[in-house]
Structure 1
Amino acid sequence: MTTSPLANPTATRELLEEFGLATKHRLGQNFLIDNHVIERICELAELAGDERVLEVGPGCGTLTLALLQEAACVTSIEADPELEPVLDAHAADYANFRFIMGDALKVTPEQIEQAAGGEPTVFVANLPYNVAATIILQFFQTMPALKRAVVMVQKEVADRIAAVPGNKTYGGYTAKLGLYAQVTGRFEVPPRCFMPAPHVDSAVVRIDRVDGVVPEELDREFVACVIDAAFAQRRKTIRNSMSANGFAKDVLDAAFEACGIAPTTRAETLDVADFVRLAQELIHDA
């Protein structure tokens, strides 16, 4: 069982006091204080010891210290400059720990690869909830070597990530993430497992990369544009939504007919494969 010496209120509080720190709600800081949750995260991550792990929002390093026991290398990205001395202290104790100070959405894959000594293969994090969904999609889009992610997110975000067509939480984000990966595991985490306790419920999800969803000759970015147009006006039919967002009606009608999609369909009833087929026809008709 993999645990962290910081995964309890006393140890976390003492560390924060040692460095004169406090949590910052604007950065979405809620420190994990439950080793049972950490054990389950590590079990889902299935680290074999040779992975380069990427982490975002390490905070005071609670999850980080557990990951360092199982991974070849852990590279963390932290936005709060006041936490740099804490991470420096961890780096002095662990030769396989590196960190980057900055905004995870602005740090480039090249910077991450340089810090990690190679491309990250696994993403494990207790993510800042206000940017979690964006980070997950961006990392799968820009880091092709990333095989899987095990991330703590707000329960509502987990619901969006794992939603299926016809579900009210299924939307453009879910479909776009589905171009790269799919959810293969999940468990809930109550507020009492954090310090301070958040006002929302949390969940950990495992997301595995899936190859071959989009044919090599088809640009994923174009498929994403099709998805965005389809969901742009969610209450409208897919024909009306897409025609109001850059696609000609005659081209749409030909593509719908070729795909066997009724123009009166709503976007939330289509799965990822439907959007891929539709994009292929739209490219062909164009």
Structure 2
Amino acid sequence: MASLEKVLKIKISALTSSFRYPFVMIGRLPTYVMPPPATIYGNLCGVLGEWFDPSGLEFAYTFSHRGIGEDVELAHVLEVSTGKKDKKLGNLPKNVEGSLNPQKRQFLLKPNMTLYLRGPHHLLEHLKAGFLSPRFAYLLGRSQDLATCHSVEYIELFESNRAFFSHTLLPWRLRQYVLVGEPVHMPMVINYHKMREPAFERYLQITDKALRIFGEGLEEDIISRSEFNNLLIDKTEKKTFLGRELYRGLWFHPIKGIDQNV
């Protein structure tokens, strides 16, 4: 196995997290079961306390949770009022009026994320210092989803033709080559210069059922080896499948910033 450059490995956990699924607006607010790529960039910006240029920076992760819960939250819906004086307000003009809109929101219980970052060394060093002493309260999702960073360290990755992938995202183009996983449409980047307009990308989501690549063509979960000859693996994490040990595979995705073209 050939050793490659070192990458930053960060272990994170929280009590809850929620990554709102944007295509449902009323009734129930579902969550993605793992963070979208756009969330990863926002996560790193919160650590550093500023927007930054992520050129050359890539991420891979594993993300798991212990179940999906549901809570009721109230949305305060406001609209312009008549502007006429209101006796209930001491004859002050009533400029706005509103109502409460209860909605069910999903959240993930006890999530764990292992985040891998690779890119320019100076940027990795800046991010390492940020995770050890974040500029803002560290979050894994919404503002109430306080998280803990347990460790930040450099590790070496290796190349192999054998690996397993689980609880992670793969590029959609691999769909035609693999037998497990499901499609998911996620925001890749948020354009804050254009009223937070998201740009979406399709990914292949691998959850509990692992994608196993034994390198032998037998009992594995791929139908073609064309995309899986030089896999990146983390040799600090391994599992046994059908009596054979496999190391965790990592697939890196580019991180897009608010000033980068999609």
TM beyond 0.5: no
> More helix per residue: 1 or 2?
1
Q: Could you say which TM-score interval applies, normalised by the shorter chain? A: 0.3 to 0.5
Q: TM-score, normalised by structure 1?
A: 0.31
The higher radius of gyration belongs to: 2
More strand by percentage: 2
